[in-house]
Amino acid sequence: MKMVVAYIRHEAFEPIRQDLLGAGFPSLSITEVKGSGRQKGITEHYRGSEITIHLRPKLKIECVVDDGTGSLLAVFLGRRELGGVRPGARVELTGTAGVHKDRLAILNPDYRLLAAG
């Protein structure tokens, strides 16, 4: 699995979202951030003063994709049982991926049981 992160301008979001949806990646996380890139900021005039704005509004897009190289370990700390989860059950996990004991893992994820098959 790979976490793909991109920082884009707001006006570029909809075409990128449509492309990702068409490629089979419907799940995205979007965060509004500020940053500087190739445009190096802009200069504006406000009440007779010249102001240079270096940090521009951006969108941060995060998408986890399966590239066939590995798996994700789900770690539920402090729980002996998970309601309805049995060996072989299909679940959908939601949370933040990170490294736990040198493995790609998601700690205490939210989960939803999926239909068998």
Domains of the chain: 1-68 (3.30.70.120), 71-117 (no CATH)
Tell me, what's the pLDDT at 21?
Answer: 83
| Strand 103-107, strand 73-75: pairing | parallel
Residue 53 has pLDDT above 80, yes or no: yes
Task: Using pLDDT thresholds of 50, 70 and 90, give the confidence band for residue 57.
Answer: confident
Structural contact between residues 1 and 71, judged by C-beta atoms closer than 8 angstroms: yes
Least confidently predicted of 4-13, 24-33, 82-91? 82-91
Task: Using pLDDT thresholds of 50, 70 and 90, give the confidence band for residue 49.
Answer: very high
